[in-house]
């Protein structure tokens, strides 16, 4: 039976793991009063905050292990529900016919608030434990970073949401029936959390791969400010990351960004730690990206590229937008699979000479037969910081040499020539947005790029005219898109349990 977090209501108590490794699955639930005694207890509590990103205890899909794939990417002009996604609720997301009762709409809310409450518990309990101060600062930094991170996703998806900053298990049902805070209030808390996290990390950090760090807090601040169109602060924090003090760099080979052999490498600022061969759900994304019907390879083709008629091409897609020689094209996509059983090559054609491309970013060559994968889910990587910097600089100061230098860093790694210095501000904005699509496809960024405000020259003013969602989805034939799709509906189950919640415009 499914169990949902009630934000305001009935939620899971803190998940406890007997081991400190991030890859361990919390396997029991006991009260915080029984639990918080030792350093190992504190570490296990913080480990549990990461858990909703990659596995589940609620029956919901993990956020960065399929949930954002079906609940976000399919609502864009890049990806769509493929033949192997027969679930009606998934297909309704892709077709923009979903409602406030859709399971994915509920699960995204549920999983994020589960992470938030685990962070709240840790932030309340850890300060009273007698442990090494450096370790305490690190753990508090991770907890407050993750709370800010989860709220950043929520406010972009739902708009204003209830700001719950205390352990919900200590609150009565009536105390949990709280109204939504404004989006501005939520953003204010996110910024406060991330700055607090950066301060904690300055007094305690970890070399253990996969954990949140000061660099991740600063990098996420740059993205938060970009989303708010605070160009000056977006530039400032992006430059703090780019200046080299955190040790990030681009991989020379774009494929290394995704191959498990290089996970948590120099380009990875923050990633969802997925070891599909051991977690309870397995890697839920990989099989859906693989062509079905290849002997020896577990593929369902649940995720496909969005195709549409453009010019004389009936099967145009993002795949055909890559310039000749762009090294990212045949890393991000493949057009055939060789069976490990019979040695034959398997592919599908749209039309003679026009092969179907399949997303390839979570493929793990260590598991060629089963379709398993240990590929992490990229959340923030260094190349995106260059694109954030370029965009904010262009919006604030125009198409400067500084803006061009940042976007050209990403293009150079892809094997492309520099953008010309003659571009106008509008042309450079469009170029940066295209670069984001090509660089970050299938990494759960496109929906957020479609809905966020860009420059006033493009969007005009007002909350119902932000971003480029309507223009782009109409282009690919999703013509039922409307202003209401700039936000998700508030899950109806949450409104039923908490009458203080209001629904987003258009979803009543």
Does 2 fall in a domain?
no
State pLDDT tens for residues 13-26.
333 332 334 543 44
Using the Cα atoms of residue 262, residue 264, residue 269 and residue 274 in order, give the sign of their dihedral. positive
Does 338 fall in a domain?
no
Q: Name the average pLDDT for the chain.
A: 91
Does 95 fall in a domain?
yes
Number of domains in the chain: 1
Task: Report CA-CA distances (Å) from 98 to 74, 92, 146, 388, 491.
Answer: 12, 5, 29, 31, 11
Where in the sequence is the domain holding 200, given as residue range(s)? 15-230+491-497
Does 205 fall in a domain?
yes
CATH code assigned at 53:
1.25.40.390
Does 206 fall in a domain?
yes
pLDDT for res 27:
39
pLDDT for res 57:
67
pLDDT for res 461:
34
Residue 310 host element (H or E): strand 308-310
pLDDT for res 181:
97
**What residues in the chain have per-residue pLDDT under 70?**
1-34, 57-58, 455-465
Report the first-to-last Cα separation within the chain, whole angstroms.
Answer: 27
Does 448 fall in a domain?
no
Does 58 fall in a domain?
yes
Go through 191-229 and write b for each residue having 16 or more CB atoms within 10 A of its CB, e for each that does not: bebbebbbebbeebbbeeebbbbbbbbbbbbbbbbbbbb
pLDDT for res 48:
96
pLDDT for res 416:
98
pLDDT for res 32:
60
pLDDT for res 22:
52
Does 261 fall in a domain?
no
């Amino acid at each position: 039976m499914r169990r949902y977090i009630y934000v305001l209501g009935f939620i899971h108590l803190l998940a406890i793991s007997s081991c400190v490794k991030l890859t361990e699955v919390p396997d029991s639930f006991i009260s915080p009063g029984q639990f918080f005694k030792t350093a190992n207890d504190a570490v296990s509590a913080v480990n549990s905050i990461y858990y909703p990103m990659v596995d589940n205890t609620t029956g919901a899909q993990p956020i960065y292990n399929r949930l954002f794939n079906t609940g976000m990417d399919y609502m864009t002009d890049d990806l769509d529900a493929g033949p192997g996604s027969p679930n009606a609720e998934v297909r309704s997301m892709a077709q923009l016919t979903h409602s406030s009762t859709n399971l994915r709409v509920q699960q995204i809310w549920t999983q994020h608030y589960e992470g938030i409450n685990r962070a709240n518990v840790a932030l309340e309990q850890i300060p009273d434990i007698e442990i090494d101060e450096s370790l305490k600062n690190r753990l508090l930094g991770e907890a407050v970073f993750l709370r800010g991170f989860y709220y950043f996703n929520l406010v972009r998806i739902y708009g204003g949401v209830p700001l719950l900053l205390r352990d919900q298990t200590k609150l009565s049902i009536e105390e949990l029936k709280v109204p939504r805070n404004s989006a501005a209030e939520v953003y204010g808390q996110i910024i406060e959390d991330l700055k607090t996290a950066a301060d904690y990390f300055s007094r305690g950090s970890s070399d253990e791969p996969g954990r949140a760090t000061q660099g991740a807090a600063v990098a996420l601040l740059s993205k938060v400010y970009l989303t708010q169109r605070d160009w000056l602060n977006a530039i400032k924090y992006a430059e703090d990351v780019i200046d080299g003090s955190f040790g990030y760099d681009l991989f020379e080979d774009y494929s290394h960004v995704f191959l498990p052999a290089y996970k948590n490498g120099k380009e990875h600022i923050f990633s969802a730690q997925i070891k599909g061969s051991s977690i309870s759900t397995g890697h839920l994304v990989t099989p859906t990206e693989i062509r079905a019907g290849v002997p020896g390879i577990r593929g369902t083709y649940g995720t496909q590229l969005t195709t549409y008629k453009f010019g004389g091409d009936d099967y145009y897609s993002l795949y055909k937008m890559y310039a000749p020689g762009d090294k990212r094209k045949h890393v991000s996509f493949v057009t055939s699979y060789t069976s490990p059983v019979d040695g034959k090559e398997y592919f599908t054609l749209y039309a003679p000479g026009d092969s179907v491309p399949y997303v390839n970013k979570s493929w793990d060559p260590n598991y060629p037969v089963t379709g398993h994968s240990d590929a992490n889910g990229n959340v923030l990587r260094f190349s995106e910081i260059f694109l954030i910097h370029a965009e904010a600089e262009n919006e604030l100061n125009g198409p400067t040499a500084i803006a061009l230098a940042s976007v050209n860093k990403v293009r150079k790694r892809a094997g492309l020539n520099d953008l010309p210095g003659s571009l106008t501000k509008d042309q450079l904005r469009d170029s940066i947005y295209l670069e984001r699509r090509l660089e970050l496809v299938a990494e759960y960024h496109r929906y957020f790029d479609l809905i966020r405000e860009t420059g006033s020259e493009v969007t005009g003013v007002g909350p119902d005219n932000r971003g480029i969602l309507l223009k782009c989805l109409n282009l690919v034939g999703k013509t039922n898109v409307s202003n209401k799709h700039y936000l998700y509906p508030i899950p109806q189950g949450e409104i039923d349990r908490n009458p203080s919640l209001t629904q987003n415009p258009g979803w009543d």
